């Protein structure tokens, strides 16, 4: 039993490492495909948890059904193993759900930053338009002055 618990913990560590590796791979890809892969992984984990729950319930029913103490012990051991596996997968599922929420939060933050940049660019374009309009007015005034100067010169001559 001690050895089984040790192996179970070692398996959990390996599973966690695999999950983190996959999540990091998804983050690296982050080009939109990461969301779909996270959803697929999330769905697969949900199906696994559901399958394990069904197996666990069946094992518990067998254990309660009687039919000899050895058979009941085996069924109880199987039920305990399935409970452990279910708990492990549920933990993976919860972590993946948190990662998905984090992933969505990161994308929302990026969208917010981009919207801020767009707003800044709109203000800059608006300011540039105002500068161009003032420049056009100054040029018109200069042309008018040159025209007036030309008329004065013509009158003097």
Q: Is residue 154, in this structure, part of any structural domain at all?
A: no
DSSP state of 32: S
- Is residue 132 one of the residues assigned to a domain? no
Inter-CA distances, 79 with 27, 51, 73, 82, Å? 36, 13, 10, 5
Look up residue 1 and give its DSSP letter.
Answer: -
Domains in the chain, number: 1
Flag whether 127 is in a domain.
no
Neighbours of 147 (CB within 10 A): 10
pLDDT of the residue at 30: 61
pTM for this one?
A: 0.38
- How buried is 79 (Cβ within 10 angstroms: 0-12 exposed, 13-18 middle, 19+ buried)? buried
Question: Residue 26 domain-assigned?
Answer: yes
Specify if 79 maps to a domain.
yes
pLDDT value at position 142? Answer: 94
* Within-domain flag for 142: no
Residue 77 lies in a domain: yes
Instruction: Give the pLDDT confidence score for residue 68 in this predicted structure.
Output: 58
Tell me how far apart the alpha carbons of residues 86 and 93 are, in angstroms, rounded to a whole number.
10
Tell me which residues of the chain have a pLDDT lower than 50: none
In a domain, residue 117? The reply is: no
Residue 55 and residue 8: Cα distance in Å, rounded? 18
Residue 67: what pLDDT? 53
Structural domain containing residue 47: 2-111
Predicted pLDDT of residue 113 = 80
d(Cα 27, Cα 107) in Å, to the nearest integer?
A: 11
């Amino acid at each position: 039993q001690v050895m089984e618990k040790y192996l179970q913990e070692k398996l959990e560590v390996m599973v966690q490492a695999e999950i983190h590796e996959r999540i990091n791979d998804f983050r690296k890809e982050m080009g939109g495909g990461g969301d779909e892969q996270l959803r697929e992984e999330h769905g697969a984990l949900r199906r696994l948890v559901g399958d394990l729950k069904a197996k666990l319930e069946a094992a518990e029913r067998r254990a309660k059904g009687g039919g000899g103490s050895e058979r009941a012990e085996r069924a109880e051991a199987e039920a305990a193993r399935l409970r452990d596996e279910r708990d492990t997968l549920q933990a993976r599922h919860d972590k993946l759900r948190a990662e998905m929420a984090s992933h969505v939060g990161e994308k929302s933050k990026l969208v917010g930053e981009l919207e801020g940049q767009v707003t800044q660019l709109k203000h800059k374009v608006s300011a540039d338009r105002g500068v161009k309009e003032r420049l056009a007015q100054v040029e018109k005034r200069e042309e008018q002055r040159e025209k007036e100067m030309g008329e004065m010169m013509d009158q003097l001559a």
